[in-house]
Amino acid sequence: MVGNIMNNTKGQIKYILLAVSGLVIIGAFWVYASFSLLGPKDLGVRYTHEDYISALEKTGIQVEYEGLTGEALEEYKKHTEKKSIHDYNFEFSDYERKQFTLTNEEATALLNELAPGFWWFDNLQVKVLPDGTMEGSSTADIKRLKTDLYADVADDVPIPLPDTLNIYSKGRISITNNQLNGDPESFTLGAVPLPDKYLEEESVNTMEEYFSRIYTVIPGFEITSLTSNSEGEFVFDGIIPQKVSVTKK
């Protein structure tokens, strides 16, 4: 009888250990998957093709890729593969001062659809909250970012990063004379929040310096001011190239 009790106890412990091990494995997979396999955080922003067209009209930007424009370019974009910006020649011209507002849907559409073959962020959503705080969510192409924009500092990252990484940020953000100013409330990599020490002023200043490369990579592009208004819109004032021509090297 004692032997039966001990066998039953050992059996229960075995099943408990198996269950705990299973939960640990599932938890580890969930954390890993959240970095890139699963989609980024959904901010509830849904855009249409009309939102994209409206954003283009407000910005005045016209893109030509290998001679393709308009609907022909839109059709081509559906099947294009992502490439490094170093594989192409870019010609920017007809710069103009522009002032406009974009809704969450228009801004999200523009960022996703303007240059999907070169843009480093997939499934991107941006949103202005009622209090003026901004949210951003996307899957970042870390592999191409390292080669396209951050080759000089890529080896300084203390930990290995996956090729793609889901990111989410929330806080008060503005740009003045191409200088990013941020007061982040949270910044999440996958399911892992960035520790508070990295949200302090010194670290934020460093991130601001490197983040600006994403938009200053366009020569002559000047953001005089990028803020939000009480209507929950992005407010832009700056100089934008009206024509962009892209050809393969």
Residue 164 in this model has a pLDDT that exceeds 90: no
Judged by DSSP in three states, 231 sits in coil
Which has more confidence, 30 or 223?
223
Q: Which residues pair with 175 in a beta bridge?
A: 180, 226
pTM here is 0.82
> How far apart are the C-alpha atoms of 249 and 203, rounded to whole Å?
38
Contact indicator for 126, 45 with CB cutoff of 8 Å: yes
Give pLDDT, residue 148. Answer: 93
C-alpha closest to that of 128 among 242, 43, 197 = 43
C-alpha closest to that of 45 among 115, 131, 108, 119 = 108
Q: Read off the tokens for 80.
A: 């294009």
Contact indicator for 248, 86 with CB cutoff of 8 Å: no
Give pLDDT, residue 182. Answer: 82
Residue 128 in this model has a pLDDT that exceeds 70: yes
> How far apart are the C-alpha atoms of 107 and 236, rounded to whole Å?
11
| For range 200-212, the mean pLDDT | 75
Q: Is the dihedral of CA 221, 225, 226, 229 positive or negative?
A: negative
